[in-house]
């Protein structure tokens, strides 16, 4: 007995520890006992750096989060004792905590936490609601007659928002604490607009629609209508026109129309000032040059209607959620229309509907996905086999299967979740003291 315990404690692995966190260890080889687990390793780093406040770390061994002891992991993967392990450590994601729960009358389709101190939710009843951190409703106004599908905020101008709706238009509006003023309506699409997003410089907007078109717009508000009002609406609004001609939102035309998709485009985002990325139900992810308006690259997946899309801050990796219950990681640097650009797949038990990226540059490999079963999962892209952490939204509400998450945003240390049961805010402590 004694000898065996001695043996297991004596067996040790050569390990090289590396990190991208601001807590690097000198690169040298450690002999780590095989029965050490994450906790011991984390303590080792804390002690070695003599950190004033203990910071928990997670350890990635060959793209996998270390959940067992080192020896067990080696035995599982058939590693010999002499082989040197390269272990990367990252700051642990603490279990997220629910901060607030704001019920809504209708489903929340999209949320934004981009504004400091405010949450913006877009709902299926056509309302945009703004809340401050103490859950007080700041603004509540109906912008669309039909369900709003997505909302986009401009951090530089906190009163300006862009919304897309199933009423075939997108809107740029100004929300003050008191009043709401639609500034411009974007007219291009003949089907419900599925998403709207702004470029990093906030000068351009991009909309995706069910009619397989992508519109690129600038954010300037025109002084007059760029698009003639169509007959029906003209008839309907003929009475109102005389009353508030000046306040009427201007009808705005796109600066470019990107046509290449063959089915519904579910999401379009900017990856730079000129480049855009889109995904759709035709199982393709396309990269665009918006200035020229051509599709520069197409990633064709097989039978994967995509629902949502996100690009990491590095700009080289795209994530696309599809209805076959996977989130696929694509490498955008790969040449041509390569099918081999799939880096990895995050498998979900239910359809993932939305993806949110970690806002911190230090943890740029972390993403959150929300799915139709009401569970938000936080992943590290280096460890694609299992989520680092997951939590259930609206645990005490609704039936099973009716807790769909439709919108997710991760900013300022909180994750905003919008869905069937309203809006919830969870604090995600990333160890950033």
**Site residues (vs other proteins, CB under 8 A):** 107, 124, 146-147, 166-168, 190-192, 210, 230-233, 264, 303, 307, 323, 325, 351, 353, 372, 401-402, 404, 406
- Supply the minimum distance, in Å, between the C-beta of residue 230 and other proteins: 4
Which CB atom, from 204 or from 264, has the smaller least distance to other proteins?
A: 264
How far is residue 393's CA from residue 421's CA, in Å, rounded to a whole number?
Answer: 9
Which CB atom, from 167 or from 409, has the smaller least distance to other proteins?
A: 167
- CA distances, 275 to each of 159, 292, 297 (Å): 26, 10, 11
Which CB atom, from 230 or from 291, has the smaller least distance to other proteins?
A: 230
Which CB atom, from 162 or from 307, has the smaller least distance to other proteins?
A: 307
Which CB atom, from 181 or from 190, has the smaller least distance to other proteins?
A: 190
Which CB atom, from 58 or from 167, has the smaller least distance to other proteins?
A: 167
- Supply the minimum distance, in Å, between the C-beta of residue 253 and other proteins: 16
- Supply the minimum distance, in Å, between the C-beta of residue 348 and other proteins: 11
Which CB atom, from 124 or from 391, has the smaller least distance to other proteins?
A: 124
- Supply the minimum distance, in Å, between the C-beta of residue 415 and other proteins: 20
Which CB atom, from 278 or from 353, has the smaller least distance to other proteins?
A: 353
- Supply the minimum distance, in Å, between the C-beta of residue 310 and other proteins: 18
- Supply the minimum distance, in Å, between the C-beta of residue 206 and other proteins: 20
Provide the 10 A C-beta neighbour count for residue 180. 18
- Supply the minimum distance, in Å, between the C-beta of residue 87 and other proteins: 37
- Supply the minimum distance, in Å, between the C-beta of residue 351 and other proteins: 6
């Amino acid at each position: 007995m004694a000898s065996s315990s001695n043996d297991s404690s004596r067996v040790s692995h050569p390990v090289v520890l590396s990190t991208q966190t601001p807590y690097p260890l000198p690169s040298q080889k450690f002999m780590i006992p095989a029965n050490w687990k994450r906790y011991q390793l984390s303590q080792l780093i804390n002690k070695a750096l003599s950190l004033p406040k203990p910071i928990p770390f997670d350890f990635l061994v060959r793209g996998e989060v270390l959940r067992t002891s080192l020896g067990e992991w080696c035995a599982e993967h058939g590693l010999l004792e002499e082989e040197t392990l390269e272990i990367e450590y990252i700051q642990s994601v603490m279990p997220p905590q629910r901060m607030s729960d704001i019920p809504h009358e209708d489903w929340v389709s999209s949320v934004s936490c981009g504004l400091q101190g405010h949450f913006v939710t877009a709902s299926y009843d056509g309302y945009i609601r703004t809340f401050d951190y103490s859950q007080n409703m700041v603004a509540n106004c109906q912008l669309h007659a039909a369900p709003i599908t997505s909302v986009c905020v401009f951090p530089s101008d906190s009163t300006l928002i862009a919304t897309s709706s199933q009423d075939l238009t997108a809107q740029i509006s100004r929300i003050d604490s008191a009043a709401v003023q639609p500034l411009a309506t974007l007219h291009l699409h003949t089907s419900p607009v599925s998403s709207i997003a702004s470029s990093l410089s906030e000068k351009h907007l991009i909309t995706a629609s069910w009619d397989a078109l992508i519109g690129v717009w600038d954010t300037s508000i025109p002084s007059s209508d760029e698009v003639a009002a169509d007959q029906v609406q003209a008839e309907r609004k003929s009475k109102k026109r005389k009353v508030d001609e000046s306040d009427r939102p201007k009808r705005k035309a796109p600066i470019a129309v990107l046509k290449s998709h063959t089915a519904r485009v579910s999401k379009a985002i900017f990856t730079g000032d000129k480049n855009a990325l889109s995904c759709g139900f035709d199982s393709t992810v396309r990269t665009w040059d918006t200035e020229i308006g051509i599709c520069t690259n197409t990633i064709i997946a097989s039978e994967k209607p995509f629902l949502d899309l996100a690009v990491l801050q590095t700009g080289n990796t795209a994530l696309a959620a599809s209805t076959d219950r996977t989130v696929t990681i694509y490498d955008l640097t790969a040449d041509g229309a390569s099918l081999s650009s799939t880096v990895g797949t995050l498998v979900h038990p239910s359809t993932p509907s939305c993806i949110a990226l970690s806002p911190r540059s230090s943890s740029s490999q972390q993403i959150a996905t929300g799915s139709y079963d009401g569970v938000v999962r936080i992943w590290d892209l280096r460890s694609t086999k299992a989520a680092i952490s997951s939590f259930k939204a609206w645990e005490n509400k609704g039936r099973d299967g009716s807790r769909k998450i439709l919108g997710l945003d991760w900013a300022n240390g909180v994750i905003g979740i919008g869905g069937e049961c309203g809006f919830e805010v969870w604090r995600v402590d990333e160890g950033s003291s």
